Amino acid sequence: MFKLKENQTTARTELVAGITTFFTMVYIVIVNPVILSDAGVPFDQVFTATIIAAVIGTLWMAFFANYPIAIAPGMGLNAYFAYSVVGGQQEISYQTAFAAVFIAGVLFIILSLTPFREKLIDSIPESLKHGITAGIGLFIAFIGLRLTKIITAHPTNLVGLGDLHSPSALLALAGLAITLVLMVLRVNGALFFGMIITGLIAFFTNQLSFDQGFVSLPSLPEGLIVANPITALTDVIQHSLYAVVFSFILVTIFDTTGTMIGVANQAGLMKNGKLPRARQALLSDSIATGVGAMFGTSPTTAYIESSSGVAAGGRTGLTSLTVAVLFIVSAFFGPLVGSVSGISAITAPALIIVGSMMMGSIAKIRWDELDEAFPAFITVLSMPLTSSIATGIALGFISYPLLKVFKGKWREVHPLLYVFAVLFFYQLAFLPH
């Protein structure tokens, strides 16, 4: 089913890769409920809804697309939901906001069933594809450094070196050193074993504890939040949430598209600049977005942390299946998952190392041609600085056709790029983000 031999991998490698991806992204089952609870959604509701959405999207990716890419509710989109949509000037309820997410998911499915999203991937220039991959690498490395306080906020320079004597920084640096040594020695599953060793160090230095126990039953205290599509559509029309639906669709399309290109590039799965089985892969997050909204979570996206599993050798849907199974298990081990995911220094070394590996795509950008180089550069630079993959892609999409027009090469630009340059300019200039 997963064509392991054809993809030059083994079941053991795929399982280790899946475990690695899971532990680098499982923080979402804690962080997502924390953020959405600020919008009034019950924590237990979002915890279970997050897992349901992640399982459905990732299983679709595993069985229909056969890619080692995991799906889960996106960071940034949850903050937009909680603080701009529910907590914004319109003062709408979270139930109404989930109606907007559901309608966005339905429209998203329709778009994914058409050739539109496949054509979008094909239309992205090679320089921007490499820039997206490198930008994601820089972004996830920055996340790893920031979460462990190795890099902290600075009053004048915005960021600066943190306290390297803090327990979190010391644990992360120790884990980074151990994992790098394992990687250099070419130990199979080095990223995963690095996390295990770092976790043991955290436990024996009293940074990791299991005070809340290990097991609890999942629950959905509010049941289905969106049960009637007609009611959801009526809510969107009644509250004029068209801009909200548009923002969810636009950001999610490019978050997922950018991540899939980056991870597929890293895994060597792109064929002649195209992504095979793109439609099946792109359906995964649109279906998960619609289902997730019904149970109570913000839009889903492909996870950049999937690159850690690819770095561990993952090449097929068996990696994604492993992630989905572990998400199901995590539903019954909420306290345990919360304890481990709460120690960012355990997973941060994997993010930093994978980030360095993804930066290799920079070498493939044509730096001697400014009309190719600058859009890639602004994409790479803005992803970590704005904490948004979609914003990085937006700035690249705006600058690329603009420079080509002034250089007299406007015919080289795919028509879709002009369309999205205008849409992205409108979104950045006039819509909340």
Hey, what are 58's tokens? 């990732």
Helix boundaries (H) for 7-89: 11-25, 28-37, 43-60, 77-79
Q: Which pLDDT value is given to residue 76?
A: 67
**Residue 57 placed within a domain:** yes
Judge contact between 21 and 192, C-beta under 8 A: no
Q: CA dihedral in degrees (251, 253, 259, 264; nearest 10)?
A: -170
| Contact assessment for residue 323 and residue 22, using Cβ atoms and an 8 Å cutoff | yes
> Would the pLDDT of 64 be above 90?
yes
Q: Which residues have CB under 8 Å from 216's CB, separation 6+?
A: 332, 333, 334, 335
Over residues 196-239, the pLDDT tens digits come to 899 899 999 988 887 777 888 888 888 899 999 999 999 999 88
- Token code pair at residue 163: 């306290």
Residue 424 lies in a domain: yes
Q: Is 176's pLDDT higher than 70?
A: yes
Q: Is 215 exposed, middle or buried (0-12, 13-18, 19+ CB in 10 A)?
A: exposed
Q: Is the dihedral of CA 179, 175, 67, 75 positive or negative?
A: negative
Kindly state whether residue 258 falls inside one of the protein's structural domains.
yes
Q: How far apart are CA 376 and CA 365, in angstroms?
A: 7
* Higher-scoring residue by pLDDT: 422, 122: 422
192: Cβ contacts below 8 Å, ≥ 6 apart: 16, 19, 20, 23, 312
The per-residue pLDDT for 277 is: 84
pLDDT of 360 reads 81
Which structural domain, as residue segments, surrounds residue 30? 11-213+225-430
Residue 391 lies in a domain: yes
* pLDDT given for residue 401 in this prediction: 93
- What is the pLDDT at residue 88? 59
Structure tokens at 54: 């992640």
The tens digit of pLDDT for each residue in 297-341 reads: 999 988 888 888 998 889 999 999 999 999 999 899 877 766 776
Q: Where are the alpha helices (DSSP H) in 61-189?
A: 77-79, 94-113, 116-123, 126-147, 167-184
pLDDT confidence of 240, banded at 50, 70, 90? confident
Average pLDDT on 89-105 reads: 87
Residue range 39-47: mean pLDDT, rounded: 89
Whether pLDDT at 72 is above 60: yes
Looking at the DSSP bridge assignments, the partners of residue 152 are 160
Q: What is the mean pLDDT of the chain?
A: 86
- Would you tell me how many other CB atoms lie within 10 Å of the CB of residue 32? 29
Contacts of 74 (CB under 8 A, 6+ apart): 252, 255, 298, 299, 300, 301
The reply to whether 4 falls in a domain is no
Query: Which of 19-23, 159-163, 269-273 shows the lowest mean pLDDT across its residues?
Result: 269-273
Residue 28 lies in a domain: yes
Quote the number of domains for the chain. Answer: 1
Residue linked to tokens 């009293």: 206
**Distance (Å, rounded) from C-alpha 129 to C-alpha 126?**
5
Query: Tell me, what's the pLDDT at 117?
Result: 72
**219 inside domain:** no
Residue 186 has pLDDT above 80, yes or no: no
Using pLDDT thresholds of 50, 70 and 90, give the confidence band for residue 431.
low
- Cα distance between residue 170 and residue 148, in whole Å: 9
Q: Would you state the pLDDT for residue 169?
A: 93
3-state secondary structure of 70: coil
Mean pLDDT for the stretch of residues 56-84: 88
- The answer to whether 198 and 178 have CB atoms below 8 angstroms apart is yes
Compute the average pLDDT of residues 416-430: 84
C-alpha span between 16 and 323 (Å, rounded) = 10
Q: Which residue would you say has higher pLDDT here, 43 or 389? A: 43
Given a cut of 90, whether residue 55 has pLDDT beyond it is: yes
Domain contains 6: no
Cβ atoms of 276 and 368 closer than 8 Å: no
Per the DSSP assignment, residues forming a β-bridge with 158 are 154
